[in-house]
A and B are shown apart, each in its own frame.
Chain A
Amino acid sequence: MSAALDRFEVLEQIDSLQQAYVQALDSAKMEDWLNCFSQQQASYVCISDENEKRGLPIALMLDDCRERIKDRVSFVTKIWVGTFEPYRTTHFVQRLDVEKIATDTYRQVSNFCIMISPEMGSSDVLATGRYHDLVAVEHGKAVFREKRAIYDSRILPRYVVYPF
């Protein structure tokens, strides 16, 4: 197989994973969101650009193991039910860079823009920023080992229920 074709297949796998991630969140299917992460080693961190730049470790969401990611699913689907105003999101993701760092392991950076549509009210920007991901191909399928969503806004425009 040529190197070009090989790279094409890798990009296709990574893009498919990103699409599955977006579809899961935009349809509020939290189990599908969970399934985008590795079974072996997984972390999800959503942090402000301000904290990130200043080296301050507090994140908006900090799930440093698969158990934590599972617990986030439980909070959204079980504990918080009925306490927040329903909203849906529309994610736009633009891949910027992919770098192979080991066999079947890639670092990728993407821009994201998340629009929010509350049940009452018009659509607006919820957040923009960058995903810094560690993607691994496990059992022939690309999964996130790390997903780090760094959002730009100094001040979030509202409270947040779903991951970025």
Chain B
Amino acid sequence: MSANESSGAISRDLIWPNQINRIPKEIFGDPAIFDMELDRIFYGPEWHMVGHLAELPERGDFKTFDIGRRPILIARGQDGQVRTFYNACTHRGTQVETSVCGNRKSFDCPYHQWSFDTDGALVGCPGEKEFTPGFAKANYGLRELRMEEFRGLIFVTASRDTQPLQEWLGEIAAPLTDILGGDGKLRLLGYHKVTYASNWKAYNDNDGYHAPLLHSAFRMLHWQGGKGRQIATQNGHNAIEAELSLAKGNSFLSDPSLIEFKGEDPKQGSRVVQLFPLAVATKHLDTINLRFAIPRSVGSTEVHYAYFGLESDSQEMLHHRVRQSSNLLGPCGMISMEDASIFQRVHLGTFTPGNVEFQKGVKRTDEFWFDFKQNDEASFLLKWEHYRKVMDFERRQEA
């Protein structure tokens, strides 16, 4: 299927430049392209990070979330197994669970009192004798999504064609493992939840180049200059690892204890993993953060920042993580408030004509390469190429 056939008016005028460091701005603000992205990416053959086992530790615990516009229900059954379902009754489609999280013995649809076990099985449906001939409860359990776990991270996909998770993660599995403390045995500390007035791709295009330039805190706290590396994969993932060397005798902060680094592996104080299309996992100093995001509309992206400690943490370490995590990241974070402001400004700017340009670390503009320095923005071009292919936009010569 060519781009023209699939998208009609969308791609008729869209010119995706031959020069690989240019991305057409119109893909950020077109509602028809957004709908196409839901079909091809969010309901297509990609894995979506929707939670971590530490968010639902007890039997009967659940969490609701959305993949694009599709509501999902992640539940730990009374058998201890975690499963993910579409959050819709198999009868008339009513949303079954309305809470963000909680603990249930069963999931009950209020409309006609259909009742589902925590493992998704239909256990009650009043008036069953008058249903269609041959009706069997066994065929009407909550519809389950394909799910795989990695170090406690819960990934789901709506497609049978998605490759196995480990294969999909590829080289990113190693830095992701490091962020999750090695074994992924985490303890949930809480959330920041926010909506950014930005297209999901502008939110997600948060590269390594900007970090020391946009974030004054990095300079004032003497955080830059650490050695590091960057990995980017052909299916759109990216990982940045960097040293964080804190200046001794920092005089700027009245309370420098906030940014102490009490954990192990000081050589790699900062790690950021981005998984196509929208998931982020980071560790800065002792802050462990997973970002679950939902593209709400072409100009609105909802982000749930979830913070964790390790199961093995002492009370003192947990206390330190709570202080640091609360203040470091999120919509009011010392080193992330500015990002939030930029997302919106980038989004507004993309309504002007022309292309978004990538420059830092771009070695050539006619073909791709795979080695990147820590602060190169060029690494994101692989993600853009994956996006372009999935969306079936053809490259053309610019006028």
Partners in one complex: yes
What residues make up the interface of A, taking CB atoms closer than 8 Å to B?
Answer: 46, 48, 50-51, 54, 56-65, 67-68, 70-71, 74-75, 78-81, 83-85, 154-161
Chain B residue, CB-CB nearest to A81: B216
Bound: A48/B305 CA distance, A? 13
- CB atoms of B326 and A62 under 8 A apart: yes
Contact partner of A68 among B220, B255, B331, CB < 8 A? B255
Contact partner of A59 among B196, B252, B326, B340, CB < 8 A? B326
Chain B residue, CB-CB nearest to A55: B190
Chain A residue, CB-CB nearest to B345: A85
A21 to chain B, nearest CB (A): 18
B residues in contact with A75, CB < 8 Å? 217, 334
Sample of 16 more A-B contacts, CB < 8 Å, known A63-B327, A155-B195, A159-B196: A48-B192, A57-B189, A58-B191, A58-B307, A60-B330, A68-B254, A68-B258, A68-B327, A71-B253, A79-B216, A79-B217, A83-B216, A154-B100, A156-B193, A158-B340, A159-B340
B32 proximal to A (CB < 8 A): no
- CB atoms of B194 and A159 under 8 A apart: yes
B174 proximal to A (CB < 8 A): no
- CB atoms of B195 and A83 under 8 A apart: no
Bound: A56/B322 CA distance, A? 10
Contact partner of A159 among B188, B325, B337, CB < 8 A? B337
B residues in contact with A84, CB < 8 Å? 337-338, 341
Chain B residue, CB-CB nearest to A60: B332
Bound: A46/B7 CA distance, A? 46
B137 proximal to A (CB < 8 A): no
B214 proximal to A (CB < 8 A): yes
B277 to chain A, nearest CB (A): 20
Report B141-178 CB contacts with A as 1/0, cut-off 8 Å.
Answer: 00000000000000000000000000000000000000
Bound: A119/B338 CA distance, A? 17
A residues in contact with B331, CB < 8 Å? 60, 156, 158-160
A69 to chain B, nearest CB (A): 9
Bound: A12/B114 CA distance, A? 56
Contact partner of A158 among B191, B194, B255, B338, CB < 8 A? B194
A residues in contact with B325, CB < 8 Å? 58
B36 proximal to A (CB < 8 A): no
Chain B residue, CB-CB nearest to A82: B216
A residues in contact with B192, CB < 8 Å? 48, 58, 60, 156
A61 to chain B, nearest CB (A): 6
- CB atoms of A57 and B258 under 8 A apart: no
- CB atoms of B258 and A58 under 8 A apart: no
A159 to chain B, nearest CB (A): 3
- CB atoms of A161 and B323 under 8 A apart: no
B99 to chain A, nearest CB (A): 11
B3 proximal to A (CB < 8 A): no
Bound: A116/B329 CA distance, A? 22
A residues in contact with B323, CB < 8 Å? 62, 64
Chain A residue, CB-CB nearest to B341: A84
Contact partner of B191 among A50, A157, A159, A160, CB < 8 A? A50
B108 proximal to A (CB < 8 A): no
A residues in contact with B217, CB < 8 Å? 75, 79
A80-B332 CB under 8 A given contacts A50-B100, A60-B326, A159-B194: no
Report B27-64 CB contacts with A as 1/0, cut-off 8 Å.
Answer: 00000000000000000000000000000000000000
Could you jot down 8 A-B contacts, CB within 8 Å?
Answer: A50-B100, A58-B325, A70-B255, A74-B253, A78-B220, A79-B220, A83-B338, A85-B345
B residues in contact with A58, CB < 8 Å? 189-192, 307, 322, 325-326
Most A Cβ at <10 Å: residue of B253, B302, B337: B337
- CB atoms of A154 and B193 under 8 A apart: yes
A81 to chain B, nearest CB (A): 8
Bound: A59/B190 CA distance, A? 8
B residues in contact with A65, CB < 8 Å? 255
Bound: A154/B216 CA distance, A? 30
Q: Please list the 3 inter-chain residue pairs (A to B) with the smallest Cβ-Cβ separation, ordered nearest first.
A: A58-B190, A159-B340, A56-B190
A57-B322 CB under 8 A given contacts A48-B191, A80-B216, A159-B332: yes
Bound: A160/B214 CA distance, A? 17
B residues in contact with A50, CB < 8 Å? 100, 191, 193
A residues in contact with B214, CB < 8 Å? 83
Contact partner of B193 among A48, A67, A78, CB < 8 A? A48
B137 to chain A, nearest CB (A): 34
Bound: A68/B194 CA distance, A? 24
